[in-house]
Each structure stands twice: as C-alpha cells, then as structure tokens.
Structure 1
C-alpha cells in the first residue's frame, strides 16, 4: 500500500512531455490535422494502388507461361483460346483477332485484311495497356505534390512560431518548440509519403513496359497465324524438349577429323 502511494506520488511529480507528436499536432489545430489527414489519404491510396497493380501484373505474367506452353500447341486459334482463362488479356487479343478476321469479309470497300487485322489487334493491345496504367497517374501526383503539402504544414508551423515569439517578446523554448516541432513533423511526413509513391510508380511502370512487349509479340504472332491460315506459329520450346535436345547433342558421335595428307618433297638434284 505504501509502495503504491509512493509510486503514484513519483508519477505525479514527473513532468509531462508537452512537446510530443500529438501535442504538436493539437497545437497546430484544424490546419495541422487537415494536412496530416490529406497526407495519410495519399499514403493509403499509394499503397493500395501498389498492391492491386502488382497483383494484376503478376496474374498476366503467370498467364503468359500457359500461353507459351499450351496455346500454340492447339491446331487452331479457336481451340487454343478455349485453353486460356476467360477475361484474360491474352484471351482478349485472340478473340479480337478472330472477330476482326470474320468482320473483314463483311466490308464493301477495298481495305486490306492485313491493315484491318493489324489495326484491330493494336487497338485491343492499347486498351489492355491503358487498363494496366490505371492508377499510376495518382502515384505520380502523390510523388510530385506530397512534399509540397508537407511544406505547407512546415510554413504554417514556422509562422505560428514567429507569432508566439512576437507575442511573448522572447524566443523561449516553450513558445517555439510546439510550432517548430509541428513544422518538422509535416516535412518528414511529406517525404515519407512521396518517396514510396515515386518508387512504386517507377517499378510498376517498368513492369508495364515488359508486359507491353509480351503483348506486342503475341499480337504479332496472332496476326501472322491468321494471315497464313494457321501455317505460321512461333517455336514453342519447353523445359522437357530443352533437356532432350541437350541429351541428343551429348550422345551424338563426334565428327571425324579431316584426313591429313602427307606431302613429300622430291630430292633436289
């Protein structure tokens, strides 16, 4: 009982920290909390876009493995499309290519089939790329504006510190610690929000470029297959066929060396 009384008395005697994070934010009032909430929304939105776009990109890349191993083994594009997942980017390209082939016969002008198919596949490809790029402008905006939003809080905090100095007539630590702490906090939060957004934007953009290259190559293969009526297909090399090719090369007999012919020189007279 006595120990509890002494502990409580010591706790009451200990001075409370009046210059912490929450204290500085409370001193900043509505403006400081509004800027803080805006930065939190920016951060949450950036991480949400990062996670959802990464999952979307990874799904397309995983589906591409099935395209390379199973799709081109089918005897026709229609049968190969049935092996792909519905509503996938690769299935969309195949379906749009087949639809463009069918719709070309209904045209009355002299538009070449190659130009019509190429334009239709390119339009489908661009729509997929546009969908993958959705959300990236938000990351770019956050990366460009978050430091300035934090800087706004910094300017307001410094302004409040100067007002306190003018009212008190002296630059005592108890008058400027809160506003200056608020200014530094806003600067740090602005940077913590902007840097991950910029890194996420660059990383997702590089992955989108890789997917765009794969889509372009697949679109070209579809165009060639349609124009050749199924005769042209890309070479599909699986891991099993690679191992078999390596074993065949290892067991093949070595080429016989070229026969050397002995040359004799006639004795000089």
Structure 2
C-alpha cells in the first residue's frame, strides 16, 4: 500500500515537471528572438548634410550644365544682344552729352569772333560744329564749275550745310536701329528658348516614365529662365531707344539752329566768307 502511494506521488511529480518545462521553454524562446532582432537591426543611417543654398537645381547654372547646343546658342545670342545694346546706349549718351555741351559753347562764342576763319579755328578738330562750319565756308568759297554755276550761291551753300548736318545726325543716331531690333526680337528669342527647353524636358520625362513634380519642375523652371532673360535684354533696349531718340531731337535742334545762323552769316557778309 505504501509503495503504491509512493509511486503515485512520483508520477504526479514527473507530470508536473513535464508540464512546467514547455512553458519555461516558450518564455525563453521569445526573449532569445527579441535579442536576436535587436542584434540584427541595422544601425540608423547617417543624416545627409543639407544642400547648400548656392546649389540650386533649378537655376541658371543647372540650365548651362544640362542644356543642349540650341539652348546655349540662344543664351549666347541674347548675351551678345545685351552687350551691344548697353555699348550703344552708353556711347550715344556720351556723344549727345558732348554735342549738347559744345552747342552751348558755340552759340555763346563762335559768332563773336572777328571772322568766320577765326571762328572755325576756335572749334575743336573733332567737333561736329567745326565740320559744319568748314563745309559752309568751303561751299561759299568754291562756287564754280560748269555744273554748279547754274545753281545760285544760297542754294549751293544750303545744300552743303544740310549735307553736313545730315552726316552729323547719322553719326549721332547710329545704333538706334540695333536697339529697336533688340527691343522687338529679344522677347521672342527668349520665348523660343523656353519652348525648346520645355520640349526637351517633356521628351526626357516621357522617355524616363517619371512624371513626379520634382522631375518636371527642374527642366521646366530652367526653360522659363530663357523668357526672363529675353525680357531683361529687351526692356533696356526699348527704354534706351526712346531716350536716345528724344535726346537726339533736342541736340539736333541746336545743331540745325547753328547751321541756319551760319548760312545767314555767309549770305549776309560774303566778303567775310572769302577771307
């Protein structure tokens, strides 16, 4: 009897041991798996350094870097047009300012000389007024020949003085046609560059099969810069053209007034002109 009771307790102990062992094994396995996952987890990637503000992927530098020959040719043409416009604007402003200053001095001193010869010699060699005065004096002194003897002296002198005034006007107005051409064509040249750039960008996007905003904004933004450059070239050219036209009218009015006074002196006192 006692042996049976002892065997029963031994069986119960063995069963309890077997029941507890799986639970302990299951608890041990998740802990081991968690530690394995932690060990196998990759290290966090290093945070990329922020891009510099100067590295603009949509700016002019990116356009020059990725643009083709057509885009670069359009940009070069606009640059040449801009440089030519500014050169003409600066040179002609200097010429008109110089001519206006000479006009004030000539009107206050030239006709106070004792003779036209002294008046001509008092003018600067490269002065437009000396050129006109010399042309008038020479025409009044050389009115001979079979072809010119039928023309009266007044008309002959008038024709020569007007020719000299026209030469001065052409010199002062040189380059205005270029400014007008730049002002009227530069926006369309820039627009052509924009259309070409957008066409190339959309073609590249279609081939790549990526139409996300970051893929579209860059090429299209680069292309639109061409339109802005075209307007930046055209606006100074148009403003400079209008400004120079108004200045030329004012200055040439003073030149023509001097020519009219010179003609009156030559016709009123021919003996002075022959000295």
TM range (shorter): 0.7 to 0.9
1:37 Cα deviation from its structure 2 partner = 1.4
Question: Which residue of structure 2 lines up, in the alignment, with residue 44 of structure 1?
Answer: 83
Quote the RMSD (CA, aligned, Å).
2.1
- What is the aligned counterpart of 1:174 among 214, 222, 228? 214
Contact 1:24–1:178 (CA under 8 A) maintained in structure 2: no
Establish whether residue 14 from structure 1 lines up as the match of residue 50 from structure 2: yes
Determine the structure 1 residue equivalent to 2:165.
125
For the pair 1:149 / 2:185, whether they are aligned, the reply is no
The answer for the alignment partner of 1:93 in structure 2 is 132
Aligned to 1:31: 70
Asked if 2 retains the 8 angstrom alpha-carbon contact of 1:114 and 1:227, the reply is yes
CA distance in 2, matches of 1:160, 1:60: 51
Offset at 1:29? 2.4
Q: What residue number does 1:6 align with?
A: none
TM-score, length basis structure 2 = 0.75
1:21 Cα offset (Å):
2.4
CA contact (8 A) 2:58 2:222 kept: no
**Residue in 2 that maps onto 1:184:** 224
- After superposition, the Cα gap between the structure-2 partners of 1:74 and 1:17, relative to the gap in structure 1 and judged at 3 Å, is closer
Give TM-score, length-normalised by structure 1.
0.77
Q: Deviations over 1:117-160 (max 9, x none)?
A: 11111111101101111111111111111111101111011112
1:224-239 equivalences under 5 Å are: 224-229=264-269
1:140/1:201 contact within 8 Å kept: yes
Q: Which residue of 2 aligns with 1:60?
A: 99
Pair 72,66 (structure 1): closer, same or farther in 2 beyond 3 Å: same
Structure 1 residue 109 corresponds to structure 2 residue 140:
no
Match of 1:239 in 2: none
Q: Matches of 2:68 and 2:150 in 1, distance apart?
A: 71
Q: What is residue 201 of structure 2 aligned with on the other side?
A: 161
Distance 1:186 1:176 in 2: 17
Higher helix share: 2
Cα distance in 2 for partners of 1:212, 1:20 equals 46
Listed as ranges, the gaps of 5+ residues in structure 2 are 1-45
CA–CA distance in structure 1, aligned partners of residues 208 and 199 of structure 2: 14
Q: Secondary structure at the match of 2:110?
A: helix
Deviation at 1:20, TM superposition (A): 2.9
Report the alpha carbon displacement of residue 111 of structure 1 after superposing the two structures with TM. 1.3
Deviation of 1:162 (Å): 2.0
SS at match of 1:13: coil
Contact 2:191 2:226 in 1 (8 A): yes
How many residues are aligned here? 223
